[in-house]
Structure 1
Amino acid sequence: MAINILDCPAEILQHILLFTVLNRGVKRGLRLRLVCKVFADLTKYAVYQSLLLDHFYAPDVGYLWQIKNHHGAETFWHKYLVQRVLTEKDSAVGRYVDIREVAQQICEELGSGSDLRATVQRLCWLALDGKTTFPGRPRARSSSPREPYDDSPKYDPKLSLLSAAAHFSLMDLVDRLLSEGHCPTSCGDLFPPAMQVAAMDGNANMLERFQQHLPEYEELLGFHEWRGKAGPCSVIGAALRGDMDILSLALYPPSRTTIQNKDYAGQVFGEIGTLSPVGRTLRKAQRRTNNPEMFDFIDKFFKESMSVTDLYTELIWYSRAGVISMVRYLLAKGVPVHNPLGYARPVDPPLVEACKGGHDEIVDLLLQHGADPNYGADRMWPHTALPMAASSGSLTIVRRLLDHGACVNELTENLENLPAIWYAIAIEHTQMVELLLARGANLYAGGDVETKTAGWMAESALEMALELGMDSMADILRGHGIMVTSPMTNSGYAPWKRWPMLITASNFGEWAE
Structure 2
Amino acid sequence: MTLLLNLPPELFQMILLQAVLVRSPTRALRLRLVCKQFSQQVQFVLFQRQLLDEGLLGSMTRLEWNHCERAKFWHSYFVQRTLNTENRSHLNSHVISRMRMIAERICEETGIDLKTTIEALCWPAMYQAHHFSDAIRESGRLSYNLERDLLSAAAYLNLVPVTRRLLQADDCFEDGNTTFFPSPIILATVAGNTHILELFRDYIHQHSPESKGVDNSVTRRIWNRGMIDSIEQQFIEGAAMLDDTKLLRSTIYPTNGTRITGPMDLSTFKGILCGKDRAHSVEVNEYLGDLLGEKASVHSSASMLGKHARIGNIKMVRFLLDSGIDIRGISSCVPLVEACRGGQEKIVDLLLERGAEPDFPLNITASELRSWEHRLGHAPISYHKETFHSAMGMAAKAGSLSIVQRLINHGARLNHPMKGDIALRYAVTYEYTEIVRFLLGSGVISLYARRCSLKYATDKGLESMVELLKCDLADFEAKRVVKDSKTS
For the 8 Å contact 1:411–1:418, the answer to whether it is kept is yes
Q: How far is the alpha carbon of 1:126 from its aligned partner?
A: 1.5
Q: How far is the alpha carbon of 1:127 from its aligned partner?
A: 1.1
1:403 maps to which residue? 409
CA–CA distance in 1 between the matches of 2:225 and 2:421?
43
Do residues 209 (structure 1) and 208 (structure 2) align?
A: no
For the 8 Å contact 1:291–1:326, the answer to whether it is kept is yes
Residue 56 and residue 240 in structure 1: after superposition, are their counterparts in 2 closer, same or farther (change >3 A)?
same
User: What pairs up with 1:113-152 in 2 under 5 angstroms?
Assistant: 114-132=112-130, 141=137, 144-145=140-141
Q: How far is the alpha carbon of 1:262 from its aligned partner?
A: 1.2
For the 8 Å contact 1:351–1:373, the answer to whether it is kept is yes
RCO greater where, 1 or 2, for CA within 8 Å and sep 6 or more? 1
1:472 maps to which residue? 464
For the 8 Å contact 2:277–2:300, the answer to whether it is kept is no
Gapped regions of structure 2 (runs ≥ 5):
211-220, 363-381, 478-488
2:325 aligns to what SS in structure 1? coil
Q: Structure 1 stretch 11-20 or stretch 357-366: which is displaced more? A: 11-20
Q: How far is the alpha carbon of 1:164 from its aligned partner?
A: 1.4
2:263 pairs, out of 268, 289, 292, with 268
Q: How far is the alpha carbon of 1:473 from its aligned partner?
A: 0.9
1:419 maps to which residue? 422
Residue 293 and residue 27 in structure 1: after superposition, are their counterparts in 2 closer, same or farther (change >3 A)?
same
Do residues 458 (structure 1) and 441 (structure 2) align?
A: no
1:170 pairs, out of 149, 159, 162, with 159
1:457-498: per-residue Cα shift (whole Å, max 9, x none)?
Answer: 111110111111111111111112359x9xxxxxxxxxxxxx
2:243 maps to which residue? 242
CA–CA distance in 1 between the matches of 2:13 and 2:98?
29
For the 8 Å contact 1:321–1:357, the answer to whether it is kept is yes
For the 8 Å contact 2:310–2:342, the answer to whether it is kept is yes
Residue 323 and residue 441 in structure 1: after superposition, are their counterparts in 2 closer, same or farther (change >3 A)?
farther
TM-score (norm 2): 0.79
2:179 pairs, out of 186, 189, 206, with 189
For the 8 Å contact 1:185–1:233, the answer to whether it is kept is no
2:179 aligns to what SS in structure 1? coil
Q: How far is the alpha carbon of 1:360 from its aligned partner?
A: 1.9
CA–CA distance in 1 between the matches of 2:467 and 2:131?
34
Please tell me the residue identity of whatever aligns with 2:182.
Answer: P
1:418-444: per-residue Cα shift (whole Å, max 9, x none)?
Answer: 432222122111111223334x1434x
Q: How far is the alpha carbon of 1:173 from its aligned partner?
A: 1.2
Gapped regions of structure 1 (runs ≥ 5):
147-153, 340-344, 446-453, 486-513
CA–CA distance in 2 between the matches of 1:189 and 1:315?
28
1:297 aligns to what SS in structure 2? helix
Residue 301 and residue 183 in structure 1: after superposition, are their counterparts in 2 closer, same or farther (change >3 A)?
farther
Q: How far is the alpha carbon of 1:141 from its aligned partner?
A: 4.7
Q: Structure 1 stretch 301-310 or stretch 21-30: which is displaced more? A: 301-310
CA–CA distance in 2 between the matches of 1:127 and 1:288?
18
Please tell me the residue identity of whatever aligns with 2:263.
Answer: V
2:328 aligns to what SS in structure 1? coil
2:146 maps to which residue? 157
1:56 aligns to what SS in structure 2? helix
1:179 maps to which residue? 168
CA–CA distance in 1 between the matches of 2:444 and 2:331?
28
2:232 aligns to what SS in structure 1? coil
CA–CA distance in 1 between the matches of 2:224 and 2:293?
23
1:231 maps to which residue? 232
For the 8 Å contact 1:230–1:252, the answer to whether it is kept is no
User: What pairs up with 1:10-409 in 2 under 5 angstroms?
Assistant: 10-56=9-55, 61=60, 65-67=64-66, 71-89=68-86, 90=88, 93-111=93-111, 114-132=112-130, 141=137, 144-145=140-141, 154-184=143-173, 189-215=179-205, 226-227=227-228, 231-253=232-254, 256=255, 260-262=258-260, 268-269=263-264, 279-302=269-292, 304-306=294-296, 311-338=301-328, 346-376=331-361, 380-382=385-387, 383-409=389-415
CA–CA distance in 2 between the matches of 1:170 and 1:309?
39
CA–CA distance in 2 between the matches of 1:212 and 1:144?
32
1:61-105: per-residue Cα shift (whole Å, max 9, x none)?
Answer: 4567335xx851110110011001101145971322322232223
* Aligned residues: CA RMSD: 3.6
For the 8 Å contact 1:66–1:241, the answer to whether it is kept is no
